[in-house]
Structure 1
Amino acid sequence: MSSLLVRRRGKKAAAPAELPAPADGTSGVGGARTAGSGRPATPPSSSAGGADHGDAPPQVVEWSNGPALVTKAWGALLALALLAGPAALAWTLLRPEPAPVAASAGPADTAAQAAANERAVELVETWLRADKDDQQLLASLTSAPVGTLPQEGLTIRDSSVAQSEAAEDDVWSVTVGVDVAEPAPGSTPPPADQAQGEQAEVPLVWVRRYFQVPVLVQSTETRYSGPDLAVAALALPSPVPGPAAAEPPDLDYSETISPTSAAGQSVAGFLAAMVAGDGEITRYLRPGTAVSAITPAPYAAVAVTGIKGSHEVAEDPADNEGTHALTTVELTRLDGQKTTSQYVLTLVARDGRWEVAGVEPAVRIDTTPSGTNGSGTAGE
């Protein structure tokens, strides 16, 4: 860009005092700016050359380093790009593989599992109760051929899902547990030619049986109701073994606490208030403990028959001494019948008396290695 300020030939330039004042309020020749530019103009030359002494036009100096700096900047960026290339390649090759993200069961999986469980329970119950006239009823619940059905169905109760897991895509394997009325061991079955309607004199007992059913659950979409689930049992129920019995561990309640001791009386008073509505429950609670009585009370009376503690209990305890107490009680129902139950309570001493600091949701397992003696407080 080239820019010169020139005066018309034959006219004399205005004296400095006659120049208009700049817009920014500065004065004098040094404050004059070039037209159309924000840069200050170079002062007039004071040399004696020329007829118009002191009237030489100001020279506008053009800045010519811009293209050079732009070229240098592009060169620097190119160099950085060339250097970053090998580094990026090395990072790509050496960085660890990202860990796979495990898919969690979402609402869709939960709904599919619930649908599979419901169909499996329905099929097992119907199949066990079915007789020779229930072919179509069973066929409506499974895509498998119904086959042979007995003359009379079985008597069942208390069916529930024992296990449910995804087997393959859209297929769930469901195990259903159900009580079945079966002839008592050693009893003689009724004769095959027994007349219909006659009562068989065969004692029956309830036996827990388990049946496995594969269930297909697929998502569908109807025009009006939106997404929905289609369910089909892929096979008839198959009898399977029940869950194996776990080996019970040793419990961490090595100390015997007398029901007539101060700690035992606190336990008895607390349980009587909570279960039988006998007395005010708050008088037995440690400050800050929130336990409510059952209302309406389901039992008429509570009798403590035994207490086992995790720590030794003193008759004159110091503050904050405590124990976890596995308490066995005899509950008297409202009809006068009795049954046995157990509670696990936390007892903590304060001001010479034992208070209930909580009802624990589970028992304590003894994790002490054999040959060692465990010690501690109730909070451990």
Structure 2
Amino acid sequence: MSSLLVRRRGKKTAKPAELPAPADGASSTGSPRTGGTDQPATPPSSGGSGDGESSPPQVVEWSNGPALVTKTWGVLLALALLAGPAALVWTALRPEPAPVSTATGAASTAEEAAANERAVELVETWLRADSDDQQLLTSLTSAPVGSLPQEGLTIRDSSVAQIEPADDGVWSVTVGVDVAEPAPGSTPPPAGGGAKADEEAEVPLVWVRRYFQVPVLVERTETEWSGADLAVTAVALPSPVSGPAAVAEPPGLDYPETIAPTSAAGQSAAGFLAAMIAGDGEITRYLRPGTSVSAISPAPYAAVAVTGIKGSHEVVDDPADGDGTHALITAELTRLDGNKTTAQYVLTLVARDGRWEVAGLEPAVRIDTTPSGTIDPGTAGE
């Protein structure tokens, strides 16, 4: 069988020189004709007719093939019979697949965002509204609008301070906003207007952060053409509330060591900050190899002056390679208009070849996690 397959794949077109000679009716010697390289020898024709037709190639079959096929089917049948009970047991004991929660999480995020947006929109509109804005407020809430002032308030910087899910698709959203209010101790103008009110109209105002809570209902609807839609409505008017509670006692920071700004470590930190935010010098000269920090472009400040450094570890003037500290740096920044402000940075400083290099700009400060009342082992015997 293999010889037949090779002959089919490897069959070539016979060259003219290899073509067999045409059958000659006068030649009936009965001797076999010689074909091309890919043609089998033609046996003598029976009866010596000399018609030139060759017999088909002979294919020898493997006599053990049927026996092997029979054995293979027997093995497969036995395996199927053995696997049948196991498959039934697995089907009966297999746990139910857990429900997929990805879509639910995405839906909750979308509903939360919709509730936040409606709460902020309602609080801003309600604070700015005057007596002519009844219809505007009615479009944002299902609650009765009631009375509105003759003049709305001036506000700025509104944002969501807190959001909590309630029952049946209702979200409780707390919105913080700066409101311009009369300064403490100032006398508001008398009601009703008039000349006296105009004289006392110049009342100094200050910005006060106020907080308002809004319950917002978010319902998800399915439509044939647009898919999932969100129906959002505020079910009550804003209610003034107190802001988020402040921490009773702020945590301590874990920077026990004082580092002089004039020290080698302090000068490296100052040079790095000047290059990063004031465009003063090349920032890469202060970076440890492998550290990537880019300078701000264009530079937002004209100058930087380091006024204080606190470190997590003590630094020395002649450090060994690998010595380091986390440094909380207080710096005075000079704006482009000449005014000054104070900022703080947290840097990782590591020594190499006798100099201090910046190994990273840390995203947060280090908090002192030592329990209160803990006695320092070094002072326990004093």
What's the TM-score once normalised by structure 1's chain length? 0.71
Q: Secondary structure at the match of 1:144?
A: coil
Shift of 1:367: 1.7
Shift of 1:25: 9.8
Runs of 4+ residues over 6 Å off in structure 1: 23-26, 98-104
Counterpart residue number, 1:273: 275
Q: Secondary structure at the match of 1:311?
A: coil
Q: Secondary structure at the match of 1:209?
A: strand
Pick aligned residue for 2:376 from 360, 368, 372: 372
Counterpart residue number, 2:309: 307
Counterpart residue number, 1:174: 173
1:150-165 equivalent positions in 2, closer than 5 A: 150-165=149-164
Question: Closer, same or farther in 2 for the Cα pair 1:222/1:372, shift >3 Å?
Answer: same
Counterpart residue number, 1:227: 228
Q: Distance in 2 between matches of 1:176 and 1:313?
A: 46
Question: Closer, same or farther in 2 for the Cα pair 1:105/1:144, shift >3 Å?
Answer: same
In the alignment, residue 346 of structure 2 is paired with which amino acid? V
Shift of 1:171: 1.4
Question: Closer, same or farther in 2 for the Cα pair 1:100/1:108, shift >3 Å?
Answer: closer
Q: Secondary structure at the match of 1:106?
A: helix
Counterpart residue number, 2:136: 137
In the alignment, residue 321 of structure 1 is paired with which amino acid? D
1:101-250 equivalent positions in 2, closer than 5 A: 106-195=105-194, 198=198, 200-222=201-223, 224-246=225-247, 247-250=249-252
Shift of 1:107: 2.0
In the alignment, residue 371 of structure 1 is paired with which amino acid? I
Shift of 1:169: 2.6
Q: Distance in 2 between matches of 1:224 and 1:351?
A: 69
1:6-25 equivalent positions in 2, closer than 5 A: none
Q: Distance in 2 between matches of 1:24 and 1:156?
A: 97
Shift of 1:217: 1.2
Counterpart residue number, 1:52: none
1:251-290 equivalent positions in 2, closer than 5 A: 251-290=253-292
Shift of 1:373: 6.1
Q: Distance in 1 between matches of 2:261 and 2:119?
A: 48
Counterpart residue number, 2:298: 296
Question: Closer, same or farther in 2 for the Cα pair 1:184/1:273, shift >3 Å?
Answer: same
Shift of 1:309: 0.5
Q: Distance in 1 between matches of 2:62 and 2:367?
A: 92
More helix by share: 2
Question: Closer, same or farther in 2 for the Cα pair 1:24/1:148, shift >3 Å?
Answer: closer
Identity %: 77
Q: Distance in 2 between matches of 1:318 and 1:105?
A: 55
Q: Distance in 1 between matches of 2:297 and 2:177?
A: 32
- Number of aligned residue pairs: give it: 304
Q: What are the Cα deviations for residues 184-215 of structure 1, in whole angstroms up to 9, with x where unaligned? A: 12222211122399361322111100001111
Ranges in structure 1 where 5+ consecutive residues have no aligned partner: 1-22, 27-36, 39-69, 375-380
CA RMSD of aligned residues (A): 3.5
Q: Distance in 2 between matches of 1:188 and 1:307?
A: 46
Counterpart residue number, 1:377: none
Q: Distance in 2 between matches of 1:303 and 1:122?
A: 43
In the alignment, does 2:348 pair up with 1:349?
no
Q: Secondary structure at the match of 2:217?
A: strand
Q: Secondary structure at the match of 1:107?
A: helix
Q: Distance in 1 between matches of 2:329 and 2:62?
A: 97
What's the TM-score once normalised by structure 2's chain length? 0.71
Q: Distance in 1 between matches of 2:349 and 2:139?
A: 58
Shift of 1:99: 10
Q: Distance in 2 between matches of 1:154 and 1:122?
A: 15
Q: What are the Cα deviations for residues 80-111 of structure 1, in whole angstroms up to 9, with x where unaligned? A: 99xx99xx99x99xx9xx99998886222211
Q: Distance in 1 between matches of 2:281 and 2:186?
A: 52
In the alignment, residue 357 of structure 1 is paired with which amino acid? A
Q: What are the Cα deviations for residues 36-69 of structure 1, in whole angstroms up to 9, with x where unaligned? A: x97xxxxxxxxxxxxxxxxxxxxxxxxxxxxxxx
Q: Distance in 1 between matches of 2:143 and 2:320?
A: 71
Q: Distance in 1 between matches of 2:307 and 2:191?
A: 52
Shift of 1:271: 0.3
